[in-house]
Each structure stands twice: as C-alpha cells, then as structure tokens.
Amino acid sequence: MISLGLRSEGVREWNFTLRGMGDRELQAAAQLACEREVWDRCINTSDRTKAEINLAQRFPTPFRQDVVAAARQIGLDPAYVYGLIRQESRFIMDARSHVGASGLMQLMPATARWTAKKIGLDFKPEMINDREVNLRLGTAYLKLVLDDFGGSAAMAAAAYNAGPSRPRRWREGPLMEVAAWAENIPFNETRDYVKKVLSNATVYAALLEGAPTLALKARLGSPIGPRDGNAPAPDKELP
C-alpha cells in the first residue's frame, strides 16, 4: 500500500500487524522497513522495543552524503541537522504537516520563498519536496536562525518550530541552564520538540563520529538568558 502511494492505509495496516509482537519480531519488522526505505515505520517500529535496542534502526542516516555535505557547506553540525530532520519528517521526502510544511526539513512555503530569495536560489513552489532543494533551504534557514540566537541549538530549534519571535520572549528572565530553559518553554509541542531534537543530535553525534566527542552539557551550550547588550540586534526579518 505504501509503495502504491496509499501511505495512511499502509501505516494503519502496518501498525495493526505489529500488535502482540515481542522485541525480536519488532526489530525484524523494523529492519524490513529500513531495507525498503520506509523510514518512519523503521524508526517507530524499533522505538517500540523494551529490552533490546537497535540504535541504527532508531536513528538511521538516510541520504547521508547529501545531509552531511549540505550541513558542512553552511557550517552546521550534521548531527544537529539529522536530529532535526528525524523529528520533523522521519525522512519522508514528501511529508506534509497539518499546517502545510513540506519535505525533509518541513519548510513552510513562505519560509522557503524567503530563504530562497535570501540565498539567491531560483525557487518555484513545486521544488519544495525536491531533496536537494529542501536540504539547501532548510539548512540555510536553520543557520540563519542559529546565528541570530548566538549559536544556541536549543533556541534555534525552538525558533524553527515556533518562529523566532517566541524564543526571543522566552529568553527574557533569569539566566538558566539549557535543560532548565527547555523545560520551561510554555508550549507543549515546542518543549517536546526542542528536547527531542537535542537528544536526537546527541545520539547522531555518537553514530556519525563513532564515539561521543562532547559531554551532554557541553553539547547543550551556554546558559540562556536575555540577549547580551553588545550582541547584534535580532534579525526581525526572519520568518
């Protein structure tokens, strides 16, 4: 069904078939999905196991050459980009959210147009699900947001999900460790999103690099508080 384009019907049938399966059966089913490149079923099925964990299934690296190249070309950590894509689309290239975001990096059409103009890319709306175009626009926008928030991966992830204006407000207050700041995000969806993107990125860093290169606290970055008075003014054009 999924290969025929009947994704919602195929997903329902897949999930029904998983009922009653133990860890080894779930891992076998997940492996089948991985081999067929049905990445959301691969991840979600492997996530159901209790005692036996397969990180390669739970955190796959599809399109690795393209993702790593796009990230490094613009100065982003590939593990961070992978962590965001896993949360955004589960690597489904034609994924579309209920609010209209599309593609691997789930770009809103207006954001895609703005970013394309910003980087000088000749863009047409029908190109948004093209893997190369979506990666280029998504990483470009993420880098702009990350720079606007002084390199804070947590605030950049919050901005990617909820728009830049909200984390600008949420940073006002006492200086807080990143984990505490994330726990105090007032939107349930964004709070969960930020925590998952950062935890995904930590696992991907270990998988891509062969071993963890940074302690978790170091990877989270500096405490979050009001913008430094000497820092550049926020980019109010960021959508």
Percent of the chain whose predicted confidence (pLDDT) is above 90: 88
Classify 107 as helix, strand or coil: strand
pLDDT at 175: 96
**To the nearest whole number, what is the mean pLDDT of the chain?**
95
Phi, psi dihedral angles at 28 (to 5 degrees):
-65, -40
Q: Is the pLDDT of residue 213 over 70?
A: no
pLDDT at 103: 95
Helix H or strand E encompassing 190: helix 188-209
Q: Is the pLDDT of residue 222 over 80?
A: yes
> Residue 170 corresponds to which tokens in the numbers above?
């949420």
**Range scoring the smallest mean pLDDT among 22-36, 65-79, 152-166, 223-237:** 223-237
pLDDT, tens only, 34-87 = 999 999 999 999 999 999 999 999 999 999 999 999 999 999 999 999 999 999
pLDDT at 164: 97
126 among known catalytic residues: no
- Rounded to whole angstroms, how far apart are CA atoms 239 and 237? 6
pLDDT at 212: 64
**Are 90 and 39 within 8 A, CB to CB?**
yes
> What are the Cα distances from residue 101, in Å, to 93, 125, 139, 222, 233?
12, 12, 15, 30, 28
For the whole model, what pTM was predicted?
0.95
Tokens 């990877």 locate to 219
Give the mean model confidence (pLDDT) for residues 150-169. 97
Residue 197 burial class via C-beta count within 10 angstroms: exposed 0-12, middle 13-18, buried 19 and up: buried
pLDDT greater at residue 97 or residue 156:
156
User: Which of 25, 35, 52, 88 is labelled catalytic?
Assistant: 88
pLDDT at 99: 85
Nearest Cα residue to 184 out of 149, 155, 146, 213: 155
Domains and CATH numbers, the chain: 7-58 (no CATH), 64-220 (1.10.530.10)
Nearest Cα residue to 130 out of 184, 208, 32, 63: 63
**Range scoring the smallest mean pLDDT among 22-31, 44-53, 65-74, 213-222:** 213-222
What contacts 16, CB < 8 A, 6 or more positions away? Answer: none
Q: Is the pLDDT of residue 220 over 70?
A: yes
Q: Is the pLDDT of residue 129 over 80?
A: yes
